[in-house]
Amino acid sequence: MAEESINAPEVLGVEVDVEPVPEKRTATFDRSIVDGHLSSAVWKIAWPTMLTNMIGGFQGIIDHALVGNLVGYTANAAIGVSVQLWIVVIVFISSIFIGMSVLVARFAGAAEPEKVNRTVYQAFLTAIFMAFAILAPVGYFAAPYLLDLVNTAPEVKAEALPYLRLMYVASGGMLIFFMLGGALRSAGDARTPMVLGIVMTLLNLVLSIVLIRGLGPVPAFGTLGSAMGTAIASGLVSAYALWKLWSGGWVVSFPRGGSYAPDWNVIRKLFKFGLPAGFQGIAMNVGGVLLLSFIGSLAQSAAAQAAYAVSYFQLFQLVTWTSMGLMGAAAAVAGQNLGAGRPDRAVTAVNTAARFGLVGSAFLGIFFFFFPAQLLAIFGMSDPEVVGIGVQLLRVLAFSGLFISVALTYTGGLQGTGDTKSPLYISIISQVLVPLGICAAIKYFGNLEPLDIWLAILAGHVTRCVLSSARFLQGKWKSIAVDIEATHG
C-alpha cells in the first residue's frame, strides 16, 4: 500500500523539503517467528498449509470418486499408478525448491530481503527450464515404458497412458505453484499460498466435474478429464502468481533492476541443498514404483492396485496432508530461527510440530481402523475382493500414520536447517531397503500376499521415524553455513 503524502513542515520558520516515502514492493517479514511464542509460530505456518493440502486432496478424492463410479475401478488404478510415476520425476525437479526454502528461511530469519528475492527468481528460472526442456518431452515419450515397468494391467494402461502424458507435458503450472508456496511459507507467509491453493482447487474441481463426465457441448473425457482440469487450473493460478511476483506486494518478489540472467552462484546453492532432497524424493518414489511392481505381481493385481490407489494415495492423504503441513512449518520456523542465531528455538519448534502430528494421526487412525469399509464405499468400491484388500490395508495404515507423521516433522527440521543429506540416506534405508527387502524375501521363500506388502510399508515408516528423530536430535545441523554474495554480479 502506498504511503500517505507528507506535507513539508516548517522548522524555525524555514520550509524543509521532505522526500515522500516510496511505495514498498514487498511486505515485511513476520518477526514473531523468531521472537514470539513457538507453538503459535509453528501453528501459524502449519494450519494454512494443512488446510490447503486438505482442500487440494479432497479434489483428488472427488476425481477418484467420479472416475470410480463413471468409468470403474480400472480408472482408480490408472490414476494411482500414473500419479506415482509422475511424482517420481516431479519430486526431483521440485528439489530445487527445497534448496530455495533453505536459503529463503535463513535469509528471512536474518532480515535480508534482497537475498530472499534473488533466490526465488533463480529458483523460478531453473524450474521452468527443467519443466519444459526436460520433463515435457522426455515424460511424453517415456510414459508407456514406465507403465510397463510397474506391470500395469492392459486395461489399466489404456486409461493411464493419456493421463500420464498430459501430466508430464503440462507440469509447468504446478511447478510454479509449488515454488511460490515454498518461498512464501519459508519467508513466514503461509496464508497467501493457502488462498491461491483454495482458488486453484475450486477451479480444478469445477473443471474436473465438467471434463470427466461431460456437460452440454463438452464431451466426457473420463480419466483424461482429471488431468485436463489439473493442468488448466494450475496454469491459470500460476500465471497470476508470476504477475504478482513481478509487480510486488507479497513478502517475496522478483528483484527489479540489474541482470535477469541466470546467477550461477545462487543456482549452485539451490542444487547444493536441493539435490539431496531430490535424490531423496526419487529414492522414495522409486521405492513406491517398485512396490507397485510387487503389487502388480500378485494374483489379485488389478484389485490390489485399485485398493492401494484409493487407500494409500487418497485416504492416507488425510494423514500426510497434516503431516506435510507440519513438515513445512518445522522447516520454516527452524530455518528462520537458525538464521536469527537461535538454534535452541529451532529444536523446540520441531518437537512441537512432532507432537501436533502425532495427535492428528492418532485421531485419523481411529477411522481407518474401525470404519474402513465405509470409507472405501465413498469411491464406489463394492467388489468384495477389492474391499477386502482395502480394509486390510487401511487397518495397517491406522498404525503407520503415527510413525510417518513424526518422521516427516523431523525431516522438515533437518531440511529447513540445511541438512538435506541425512533425510536422503534415511529414505534409502527406510523407504527402499526395508520394505522392498521384506517383500523380496517373502516372495523368494514363500508366497507374497497383500498383507505382507502392507506390513512392509509399516516397517519402513517405523524405521524412518526412529532414524529421522534420532538424527535431528543429534544437533549437527547447527553448524551448517548458508550464504550468497550480497549483490548481484
* 196-251: pLDDT as tens digits: 989 998 898 889 889 988 888 889 888 888 889 889 999 999 999 999 999 988 99
pLDDT at 9: 39
Q: How confident is the model at residue 27 (pLDDT cuts 50, 70, 90)?
A: low
C-alpha cell at 168: 508430464
How many CA atoms, within 13 angstroms, populate the side-chain half-sphere of residue 68? 25
DSSP for residue 413: H
Residue 6 to residues 22, 23, 29: CA-CA distances in angstroms? 11, 13, 25
Domain ranges of the chain: 35-475
Distance CA 294, CA 105 (A): 40
pLDDT digits (tens, 9 = 90+) for 162-195: 989 998 998 888 889 989 989 999 999 999 999 9
SS3 151: coil
Measured distance CA(376)–CA(69) in Å, rounded: 12
Residues 6+ apart with CB under 8 A from 106: 335, 336, 338, 339, 418, 482, 483
Burial label, 13 (beta-carbon count in 10 A; 0-12, 13-18, 19+)? exposed
Which uninterrupted H or E stretch holds 489?
A: none
Is-contact 121 351, C-beta < 8 A? no
With beta carbons less than 8 A apart as the criterion, state whether 399 and 387 touch: no
pLDDT 10s digits, 85-117: 887 677 777 778 889 999 999 999 988 888 999
Q: How far apart are CA 158 and CA 397, in angstroms?
A: 30
DSSP string covering 418-472: T--HHHHHHHIIIIIIHHHHHHHHHHHHS---HHHHHHHHHHHHHHHHHHHHHHH
Tell me the whole-structure pTM to 2 decimals. Answer: 0.78
Under 8 Å between Cβ of 401 and 359: no
Q: SS3 for 395?
A: helix
328-342 pLDDT, tens digit each:
999 999 999 999 999
Element holding 316 (H helix, E strand): none
Element housing 263 (H / E): none
* Predicted local distance difference test score (pLDDT) of residue 356: 94
pLDDT at 44 over 80: yes
The better pLDDT of the pair 393, 11 is held by 393
Q: What is the pLDDT of residue 378?
A: 83
- State how beta strands 14-15 and 10-11 pair: antiparallel
